[in-house]
Amino acid sequence: MPTASDGLVHVPGPVGPWFPVRESLRRYGTAVAYGWELEWLPPCPDETELRGLLGGQLPRYLELTHHRARERYLASRVFFRHIVAVALSAPPESVDIGYMPHGRPYVRGCGELEVSLSHSGPLQVAAVSRVGRIGVDAEAADRPLDGSGWDQSVCTPQERVLLASLPPEHRSAELVRMWTLKEAYSKAMGQGMRYPFERLGFSRSGVPERSLGEDGDWHPLEGWNCATTLLEGARPYRVSWVHQRREAAGTASAGWPAEAVLMALSHGSLRRQARWRAP
């Protein structure tokens, strides 16, 4: 499988270590890092500290009514701002994160840096790219998806054949792998759950494909790299990320004609409607 960077980097708090993130950005133009909620949760911040930690995202934090939801939101946004700050060589408090209509994050005033964020339970993952679009997704690897009907709504015909060939005890894990790769690509494209996932496939070798038109013709998804890894632990997590390659970053669709993008998206979406030191 083509790898999106030298690997997934663990950053266990605001003091780093940050060298692996900086080195990945220097070598590849991208970096993907993860941390755990308790590593990034500030200890009892007051309102002034919250304003510095969250910036423009403070109003959203104050809207949350449940204590645990607030903690999770705070930890993930502090983590995200620090990763972006390292990519920009700027202090975290200067990073202003905004969100597009379908939830895709961006850095205000810094269009040349693409960013993505995902979290699942206590795990939070952030991805940054200087060379084009990027998306990341995380999910509990033991999530029971087999038998839920997901394969019919999000898998390509080839993927359904693959799933059917696997022992039943391995199907949910494979569905999680497929789903996180698809969701990562959809995030990179800024489409979220509107994407026609049954038209986007990833083989076991990691080669991505997508389908255009109702004739079922399949075409390689050129100009993109993808990677997926399993974080072992008391509960395992699957993390997948997809990003444009440096030479393909000049076009949003990287080899897929713009009119074809619009056509495929319309077919799918109409059916769904479904106190810390700076780094």
Alpha helices in the chain (DSSP H): 19-28, 37-40, 47-54, 58-63, 67-88, 150-154, 157-165, 168-189, 258-272
Q: For residue range 175-185, list pLDDT tens digits in order.
A: 999 889 999 99
> The domain 8-272: what is its CATH number?
3.90.470.20
Map out the domains of the chain as residue ranges: 8-272
Each residue of 14-35: pLDDT tens digit? 999 999 999 999 999 999 999 9
Look up tokens 């898998």; give the residue.
155
Burial 34-68 (b: 16+ CB within 10 A, else e): bbbbebbbbeebeeeebeebbbebbeeeeeeeeee
* pLDDT level of residue 264 (50, 70, 90 thresholds): very low
Out of 5-19, 189-203, 247-261, least confident range: 247-261
Residue 47: predicted pLDDT? 87
Is 0.75 surpassed by the pTM of this model? yes
In whole angstroms, what is the distance from residue 161 CA to residue 155 CA? 10
Q: What is the mean pLDDT of residues 43-60?
A: 90
- The band of 272, judged by pLDDT with boundaries at 50, 70 and 90, is very low
Sequence-distant (≥ 6) Cβ neighbours of residue 119 within 8 angstroms:
72, 76, 125, 138
